[in-house]
Chain A
Amino acid sequence: MKKAQVQMMETIAVLFIFFILIAFGFIFYANALKGGIAVTKQEHSELKSIELASKVSSLPELQCSENNLIEENCVDWLKLDKASSLIRSNRIFYFDILGYSNITIEEIFPGDRTYTVYANVPKDYGDRLPTFLPILLKKPIEGGYGFGIMSVVLYTK
């Protein structure tokens, strides 16, 4: 009888340790998964930031065109002022396209003016991801092109 009891206790001890090991395994797996999710989230935010920069650089409200032919990497200087007020008066529509971001166009050469095209900065944000794109600034009245930088800052929560 005693021998049987000892054997039973041994079995219970083994099972107890086994279940503790499984519990530790689950805890480690959950932590590893959490880390993997954070990495994937960061990668997704970076891709979204690139996507936003590409979207903004091809917005018809800003794009240059000549005889219906679109000029790549170019912003029409005359459209800038109107585009800013158009975007401001249709915030909900543009929120779907641009989300929480800040888009500015800075003239580097020959002048030094800066235009804020869109500004929607949340009060609390997790990451701030800026992307800078060199662009041509078409000046239809004066003729020719200036050198500018489009700054697209994406805010993620």
Chain B
Amino acid sequence: MELMGIAIVVLLVSMIMIFVVSYTAKRKPTEYRKEFAGTELSTNIVKTLLATNAPGCMGLTFNELWQNCAENYVSGGIPCDAYRDSCEYATDETEKILNATLNKWQVNYEFRAEWDEGTTRRKVSIGVCPKTVKSKRTKPYPIYTNIGIMNILLYICY
């Protein structure tokens, strides 16, 4: 009888130990840095990029360049250099900046500038997030133009 009692106690204690050890082994540290970096990076990178001045295009900010691009998408924006107007300059340099940062850290992204011109939906995209992966999007950053609001979005692909 006592041996049966011991057997039951051993069984119970073993089950409790297995439960505790498996719970402790599965517990991962909360990745505060990853969460912070993801949130801060995507939000600040757009904000910082748009406030940056472009000495190669009359010292205008990227905000002003994208604004000019949206307002003159069909007719062509202000000429920045011999080969590029505001749209081309803003797209090229934005791509270079994002490649020198996000791509360098092996973070895939998709940058989008979207606006409506009458009934036509216009879009300028840099990079692409594959449909098979999840992506985290910044809040749309609005640029006010005389044809409406242009939204700047940055998707970080996971």
B-binding residues in A (CB < 8 A) = 10, 14, 17-18, 21, 24-25, 28-29, 31-32, 35-36, 39-40, 42-43, 46-47, 49-50, 73, 108-110, 129, 131-136, 142-147, 149
Contact = CB atoms under 8 A, between A and B. Distances in A.
Interface residues of B, number: 40
Contacts of A50: 32-33, 36
Contacts of B28: 39
Contacts of B52: 109, 136, 145-147
Interface of B: 2, 6, 9-10, 13, 17, 20-21, 24-25, 27-33, 36-37, 40-41, 44-45, 47-49, 51-56, 59, 61, 93, 96-97, 100-101, 105
Given A24-B17, A144-B59, A134 B44 contact: yes
Q: Is the interface of B mostly helix, strand, loop or mixed?
A: helix
Contacts, number: 99
Nearest to A147: B52
A99 to B, nearest CB: 16
A146 B105 CA distance: 20
A72 B7 CA distance: 67
B36 A35 contact: no
A156 to B, nearest CB: 12
Contacts of A146: 52-53
A8 B59 CA distance: 96
Contacts of B33: 46, 49-50, 129, 131
B105 A143 contact: no
B51 A136 contact: yes
A73 B96 contact: no
